Structure 1
Amino acid sequence: MYNTAYLNQQFVQHFQVAPTCIASSPGRINLIGEHTDYNEGFVFPAAIDRYIYVALSAREDNEIHIFSAAYNTYFKTTLLPETSETAPEWAKYILGVVQLINGKKSIKSGINLFLDGDIPLGAGLSSSAALTCATGFGINALFQLGLSRLEIVQIGQQTEHRYIGVNCGIMDQFASVMGKENQAFVLDCKDLSYRYFELQWPEYEILLLNSNVKHNLASSAYNKRRKACEQGVAWVKEKYPEVNTLRDINLQQLDDIVRPLSEDIFIKCRFVIQENLRVQQASDAIQRKDITQFGRLLYEAHWGLSKDYEVSCAELDFLVHFVQGLPEVAGARMMGGGFGGCTINIIKKGSSTALIDKITTAYFDRFGKSPSPIQVKLSNGTSLLEY
């Protein structure tokens, strides 16, 4: 449990007043369904017990003052129509949320914000989504603006689009805000309907292995993959005007229309369609408590991400290949946007210590660095903390 007394103390130290509220928003994992959310597909995320914390108080002027414990940096600006050009990257997430909320509800004063957390940055656990959602939730509570949870989710996504330059889907923010303890949910990114599934695996637990390869989606090939999907849709739409996203396209249409024009774009689009099917199969496996089939789908998803969608890297492939076939591991895959971050591993309880030792030795021998194990439990979504 996070030490809210420490956060309160730090807030007073930096702003000379006590916080009015503290918002907490979790990171997320995604069991399966990668690069499907921005194609109006299906995803299977869950919130985890790692959080970003944002403490807030209103100011008497119109200035925004932010201190980040992670970066040990203080930044201030005025409540402007747009974010400051001089703002560090981490502060743009906060300022983007402030401006989007201000455009909807009119914030009446400046704000003090203190940021802390225990989500590893750059690990593919959506620390940025947790940051924007905690900020939005906190501002909503601070000024009693009446924003719904869905509005806070959408503000978080719009912040990434408009102020960070990442055309992300809605999954990360949705999972952070809507998570439930011990449950994951299948989210339909087309109509935002969702269904919770309790993970009834008494003999298994979730182990994340951080490759410690740092990535930044804005500077990676993320946007290129999205454009490839959009191009494939555009070609099919010329013949089938009712088509709007890959969700509306079947494999036969893809083979007939896209493949002759670009083998590479065909392969990228095919992966997304197949991944949507895997999400449905995975939810069926969970309902049947078929851990073997669920694990098989994870491996299948990983090698599709690696070979077809080409968003993996040598370190992630090594981590998955190493555990594939081990009796104590039901399944594993890379997780997140790609080019680094974590693998998710479904492992037998009690096996983690020996497994981590084996993997760490082999990984260090190959890459000269160690992976970081992160054992997680599924948690509730964004909330206000009592302190």
Structure 2
Amino acid sequence: MQTLLQQEFRSRYNHDFDRLFFAPARVNLIGEHIDYNGGLVMPCAITHGTYLAIKRTEEPVLKFSSLNFPEDTFEIPIQNSYTKNKDYWVNYPLGVVDYFTQKGLEPGGMEFLFYGNIPNGAGLSSSASIEVVTAYAIKTLYNVSYGTTQIALLSQEVENNFVGVNCGIMDQFSIAMGKANHALVLDCETLEFNYIPFQLKDHTLLVLNTNKQRTLAASKYNERRATCEAALKIFNQKGSFSSLCTIPEDFFENHKEMLTPEMQQRVKHVIYENQRVHQSAQALKQNNIIEFGQLMNASHESLMNDYEVTGLELDTIYLESIAFSGVVGCRMTGAGFGGCAIALVENNRVEDYKTHISNQYFNKIGYAPTIYEVSIGGGVQEIIL
């Protein structure tokens, strides 16, 4: 990778870069659609991600290019503030430059070359990876005393306020704070977190991209969130709960008739999914991959039947996976309605599984999924040359 970036940087800028940085992608292992209901998430960083080769220059210009979007290059003069550049990928790093500029840093000329081996639009958070690697690179080049938590928070602020996407903190936090061979159990409200060992000696973690763009994810997300907020107001006629995930199981079971049938389904997922995160943490602490796999399956079943955010493509991967000997767990990851699933597969069955799932998916959907073998890696870092 370093050699490729050296060649491409010279081709674009006629000299070598100064520093090389990497930020991972992330997958959420379990705990889906409950962060905005006061629940816990369990993401991990993976060894796929975004590389950034960068050089400071004397020229008062910011130059951006990417191997993933070779047709889009940008030269932007140094300014006191920057504005969103239509809908191009450059808004992610440009927003980070603007953030530092507004904080008084006044960064000078720089040349950027990005390369990501993350599928765009698949729900693995390529945008957050770009934001975090850019923020980490600038704070390193300019000796800004920001810790990794601050890097995550400023990257979220860029996505919210500059790019205009109202995301939560999970993506940026797990990318900044990831730890090799560990998952994070994160409270997105308080930012309290724990590292949980996740040893995959006899199993392989696979990411399966449905290759379906998540066309419904945003609108359905808003619908689900509004339904959950309405349900909380109804339950607070009988109690005083700060979020759905603070409601005890027995309270829900004894008072669920207050809700419409659809609300009952949504709240059932929220309460029991939050429990599954706690149960998953205990299973991984005991290195019980089989129990963790069963909790993954239960999570997908709930997302499919109660929260209804999966869709034909994700359900095909799930149903074909759990029917295959050697798969210990499978579930959608991310917002749903396309994007990716993850599967835990016995090492000696991985190649047969890839063939099986590719064939079955193609037969039912009409095109193939893309399958990645991933490892659980560390967070944002500089690659020492």
Same fold (TM over 0.5): yes
Q: Does 1:74 align with 2:84?
A: no
Give, in whole Å, the separation in 2 of the partners of 1:248 and 1:352. Answer: 39
Give, in whole Å, the separation in 2 of the partners of 1:216 and 1:95. Answer: 26
Name structure 2 gaps, 5 residues minimum: none
Give, in whole Å, the separation in 1 of the partners of 2:99 and 2:257. Answer: 41
Give, in whole Å, the separation in 1 of the partners of 2:237 and 2:99. Answer: 36
Query: C-alpha displacement at 1:258, in angstroms?
Result: 7.6
> Quick check: 225-234 or 172-181, which moved more?
225-234
Give, in whole Å, the separation in 2 of the partners of 1:299 and 1:370. Answer: 22
Q: Assess if the C-alpha contact under 8 Å between 1:217 and 1:337 holds in 2.
A: no
Residue of structure 2 in register with 1:95 after alignment: 94
CA offsets 1:90-128 (integer angstroms, 9 cap, x no match): 111112222222223423323322111211212222111
1:351 aligned counterpart, secondary structure: helix
Residue of structure 2 in register with 1:375 after alignment: 373
Give, in whole Å, the separation in 2 of the partners of 1:115 and 1:216. Answer: 26
Name structure 1 gaps, 5 residues minimum: none
2:73 aligned counterpart, secondary structure: strand
Residue of structure 1 in register with 2:55 after alignment: 57
Residue of structure 1 in register with 2:247 after alignment: 249
Q: Assess if the C-alpha contact under 8 Å between 1:206 and 1:346 holds in 2.
A: yes
Percentage identity across paired residues of the two chains: 33
Residue of structure 2 in register with 1:353 after alignment: 351
Residue of structure 2 in register with 1:364 after alignment: 362
Give, in whole Å, the separation in 2 of the partners of 1:224 and 1:38. Answer: 13
Q: Does 1:18 align with 2:16?
A: yes
Give, in whole Å, the separation in 1 of the partners of 2:302 and 2:107. Answer: 49
Query: C-alpha displacement at 1:133, in angstroms?
Result: 0.6
2:155 aligned counterpart, secondary structure: helix
Cα 1:185/1:69, change in 2 over 3 Å:
same
Q: Does 1:108 align with 2:107?
A: yes
Residue of structure 1 in register with 2:212 after alignment: 213
Give, in whole Å, the separation in 2 of the partners of 1:252 and 1:64. Answer: 57
Give, in whole Å, the separation in 2 of the partners of 1:140 and 1:297. Answer: 39
CA offsets 1:132-176 (integer angstroms, 9 cap, x no match): 111110111121111110011011212222233332221111111
Task: State TM-score, norm by structure 2.
Answer: 0.91
Q: Assess if the C-alpha contact under 8 Å between 1:186 and 1:195 holds in 2.
A: yes
Residue of structure 2 in register with 1:192 after alignment: 191
Q: Assess if the C-alpha contact under 8 Å between 2:207 and 2:341 holds in 1.
A: yes
Q: Assess if the C-alpha contact under 8 Å between 2:44 and 2:376 holds in 1.
A: yes
2:297 aligned counterpart, secondary structure: helix
Q: Assess if the C-alpha contact under 8 Å between 2:217 and 2:337 holds in 1.
A: no
Cα 1:38/1:165, change in 2 over 3 Å:
farther
Residue of structure 2 in register with 1:144 after alignment: 143
Give, in whole Å, the separation in 2 of the partners of 1:60 and 1:221. Answer: 48
> Quick check: 127-136 or 280-289, which moved more?
280-289
Give, in whole Å, the separation in 2 of the partners of 1:118 and 1:252. Answer: 45
**AA partner of residue 377 (structure 1):** S
